[in-house]
């Protein structure tokens, strides 16, 4: 099957959840013999067309405004789809779904739209317009969680069939074969300190502010041999750095910036706990990655995370905006080896159900269902 996947951003420049998931989807589909074409925005210094890990990447000029994204950029996507003549078009968000459903209308190509947290839960310009068109016209919809499915139906304004729930997956290979060669020697030696790890974008919605503030409470509890490693970049980095100085935590926080995805497992192997303090989250792939490493996790009670973390079984759930509760749960993991070991073992077991091979099995079935059911639509 020839498959076109539309995604706004893509590695190596971008390595957040949707980007990593799209990369793995393309890689694993290609391994199964599918001809996969990823269509994404152009990043300076990268080739317009490349072939990597068995699939093609097409990079087209990025829009300069929301209006251009709805018009010129969508036309560029459509022209490329017409040239590629795929059997199916897969949009990795509602925003990318406009070109997807237009390809269905104009070229009779069946389409699948997979909702993502940022476009389902968060506000954005023209969201109501996009959502009504895309969610009603796509042949098939996919949601990451049951809650996201309900939210997509609410955006659509009515019930509809053909909405599947399929989580993102994890590449277990990457988390069993990793190297520590690029890790800072001081961090690698650990120097008798315990490590709290954060991996993700530095944006207000990720709640990193509350994780930094939790260190004050940990210090008050007598935990002074701790380091918070922050992996990621974003518009909030300067604010976070200034907050660290304001709270006199310079000796406790290390900003590592953007780290290649293949190097993240080594940091997870060194860490004692991973914290994801998000205020809103679509799914939280980083939690699956931590689970695969057997790393205890603390996450907020927000949609997208509560369907991954079972409180007390494979991690702890805390209220958002609550640095004290983050500190209390971190304290348990940093001081109680029995609880940490139990959670670690549970995580390794649970991670196996998310391996990409199992997710791709289900995605293939959705593709074939979409493709063959589209014929009956054409005949009717």
- Residue 318 or residue 145, greater confidence: 318
pLDDT, one tens digit per residue, over 125-160 is 878 888 888 999 999 999 988 888 988 898 888 888
> What is the percent of the chain where pLDDT is above 70?
94
Say what the pLDDT of residue 353 is: 85
Say what the pLDDT of residue 85 is: 96
The residue-averaged pLDDT of 315-332 equals 95
Mean pLDDT is highest, among 164-178, 179-193, 230-244, 340-354, for: 230-244
Q: Where, residue-wise, is CATH 3.40.50.2000 in the chain?
A: 2-169+355-379, 185-354
Mean pLDDT is highest, among 6-15, 174-183, 327-336, 348-357, for: 327-336
Say yes or no to pLDDT of 379 above 70: no
- Residue 66 or residue 252, greater confidence: 252
- Residue 303 or residue 253, greater confidence: 253
Say what the pLDDT of residue 175 is: 75
- Whole-prediction pTM: 0.78
Say yes or no to pLDDT of 301 above 80: yes
Say yes or no to pLDDT of 186 above 60: no
Say what the pLDDT of residue 181 is: 61
> What is the percent of the chain where pLDDT is above 90?
54
Say what the pLDDT of residue 376 is: 63
Q: Is 301 exposed, middle or buried (0-12, 13-18, 19+ CB in 10 A)?
A: middle
Fold of 185-354: Rossmann fold (3.40.50)
Say what the pLDDT of residue 123 is: 78
Say yes or no to pLDDT of 308 above 60: yes
Say what the pLDDT of residue 366 is: 95
Q: Which CATH number fits domain 2-169+355-379: 3.40.50.1000, 3.40.50.2000, 3.90.1210.10, 3.40.50.1440?
A: 3.40.50.2000
Say what the pLDDT of residue 114 is: 93
Give the Cα separation of 313 and 346 in Å (integer): 7
Say what the pLDDT of residue 64 is: 78
Q: Is 252 exposed, middle or buried (0-12, 13-18, 19+ CB in 10 A)?
A: buried
Say what the pLDDT of residue 195 is: 92
Q: Taking Cα atoms as reference points, which of 185, 145, 189, 138 lies closest to residue 168?
A: 145
The answer to whether the CB of 335 falls within 8 A of the CB of 52 is no
Q: Is 100 exposed, middle or buried (0-12, 13-18, 19+ CB in 10 A)?
A: buried
Say what the pLDDT of residue 67 is: 72
Say what the pLDDT of residue 187 is: 64
Helices (H) and strands (E) in the chain, counts: 15, 14
Say what the pLDDT of residue 180 is: 64
Q: Taking Cα atoms as reference points, which of 271, 272, 277, 287 lies closest to residue 323?
A: 277
Least confident window among 82-96, 135-149, 168-182, 217-231: 168-182
- Residue 304 or residue 214, greater confidence: 214
Predicted confidence band at 178 (pLDDT cuts at 50, 70, 90)?
A: low
């Amino acid at each position: 099957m020839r498959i076109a996947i539309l995604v706004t951003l893509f590695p190596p420049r971008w390595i957040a959840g949707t980007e990593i998931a799209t990369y793995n989807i393309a890689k694993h589909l290609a391994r199964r013999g599918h001809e996969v074409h990823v269509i994404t925005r152009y990043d300076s210094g990268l080739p317009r067309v490349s072939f990597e890990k068995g699939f093609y990447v097409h990079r087209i000029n990025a829009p300069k405004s929301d209006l251009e994204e709805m018009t010129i950029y969508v036309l560029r996507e459509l022209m490329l789809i017409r040239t590629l003549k795929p059997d199916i078009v897969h949009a990795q968000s509602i925003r990318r779904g406009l070109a997807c459903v237009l390809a269905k209308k104009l070229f009779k190509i069946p389409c699948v739209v997979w909702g993502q947290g940022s476009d389902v839960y968060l506000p954005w310009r023209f969201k109501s317009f996009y959502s009504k068109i895309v969610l009603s016209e796509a042949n098939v919809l996919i949601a990451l969680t049951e809650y996201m499915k309900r939210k997509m139906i609410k955006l659509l304004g009515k019930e509809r069939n053909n909405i599947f729930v399929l989580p993102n997956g994890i590449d277990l290979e990457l988390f069993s074969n990793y190297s520590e060669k690029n890790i800072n020697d001081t961090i690698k030696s650990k120097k008798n300190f315990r490590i709290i790890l954060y991996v993700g974008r530095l944006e207000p919605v990720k709640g990193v502010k509350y994780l930094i503030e939790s260190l004050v409470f940990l210090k008050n509890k007598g935990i002074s041999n701790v380091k918070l490693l922050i992996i990621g970049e974003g518009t909030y980095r300067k604010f976070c750095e200034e907050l660290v100085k304001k709270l006199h935590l310079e000796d406790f926080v290390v900003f590592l910036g953007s780290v290649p995805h293949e190097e993240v497992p080594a940091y997870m192997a060194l860490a004692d706990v991973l914290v994801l303090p998000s205020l809103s989250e679509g799914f939280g792939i980083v939690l699956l990655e931590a689970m695969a490493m057997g790393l205890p996790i603390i996450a907020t009670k927000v949609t997208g995370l509560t369907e991954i973390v079972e409180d007390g079984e494979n991690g702890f759930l805390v209220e958002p905006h609550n640095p004290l509760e983050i500190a209390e749960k971190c304290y348990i993991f940093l001081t109680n080896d029995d609880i940490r070991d139990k959670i670690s073992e549970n995580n390794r077991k649970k991670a196996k159900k998310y391996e990409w091979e199992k997710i791709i099995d289900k995605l293939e079935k959705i593709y074939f269902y979409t493709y063959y059911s589209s014929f009956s639509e054409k005949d009717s």
